[in-house]
Amino acid sequence: MKFLEALMNRRSIRDLTNKIGISDEDLIDIFKFNLKHTPSAFNSQSPKLLLLLDKEHHKFWDILKEELKKIVPKENFGKTDKKINGFRNGYGTVLFFDDSSITEDLIDKFPLYRENLLTWTEQHNGMLQANVWTSLAEHDIGASLQHYSEVVVHRLAEAFSVPKTCRLIAQMPFGGIVTEVGPKTFIDIDKRIIVMK
């Protein structure tokens, strides 16, 4: 039941605090465990993580703000700033990458699978994202999934020494939960599954 409960309790928490109830060692173990045990197509293990804590976490969101300032109209920036502060106020951020050198090697080996491998790469990264998100929820750590890759990608090599072969897919800021989010609406579940026997 523990897994199903965590699955149900995982929500998008966008207003974060910098207080969580576990040590950095335990936190790092959660990420390592998820990386190790989440499946990947051909067992390629191409997903990679960059875990940003403390000043590195703040640096990421400050860089993103700088970049957003260049593209968001001045009159809307207050709203954007508030939203980004919700993430920046958190405990840390994990960046999800695909190591494209691994994926490209596989494509070279199995050229007929090229399109599938590109799709599966997104899928197994998504599986990792979901597993990490649920694992954090299991420890009462709030998180959300963000997609600002295009806006910040050109700053990562200099700011965080990210290798060129690592392609940024998603960002997950996490931390303490300020306010629980409201209930979700659900489509009738029986309209989404057919059971045959």
Residues at the contact surface with ligand FMN, assessed by CB under 6 A: 11-12, 144-147, 181, 184
Report the residue number, 103 or 144, with the smaller CB distance to ligand FMN: 144
Shortest Cβ 171–ligand FMN spacing (Å): 9
| Closer Cβ to ligand FMN, 107 or 125, answer by number | 125
**Per-residue tokens: 30:** 């959660």
Separation between Cα atoms, residue 165 and residue 177, nearest integer Å? 34
Nearest to 91 by CA among 32, 10, 19: 19
Question: What are phi and psi for residue 117, nearest 5 degrees?
Answer: -65, -35
Q: Which is nearer to ligand FMN, 23 or 185 (CB)?
A: 185
Closer of 9 and 101 to ligand FMN (Cβ): 9
* CA-wise closest residue to 46 among 108, 113, 96: 96
Residue nearer to ligand FMN on the CB measure, 52 or 106:
52
Minimum distance from residue 187 beta carbon to ligand FMN (Å): 12
Cα(49)–Cα(35) distance, integer angstroms = 8
Structural element, H or E, at residue 26? helix 24-37
Tell which residue, 14, 90, 87, 96, has the closest CA to residue 47. 96
Q: Is 174 exposed, middle or buried (0-12, 13-18, 19+ CB in 10 A)?
A: buried
- Least distance between ligand FMN and beta carbon 80 (Å): 12
Least Å distance, CB 184 to ligand FMN, is 6
Tell me how far, at minimum, the Cβ of 97 lies from ligand FMN, in Å.
16
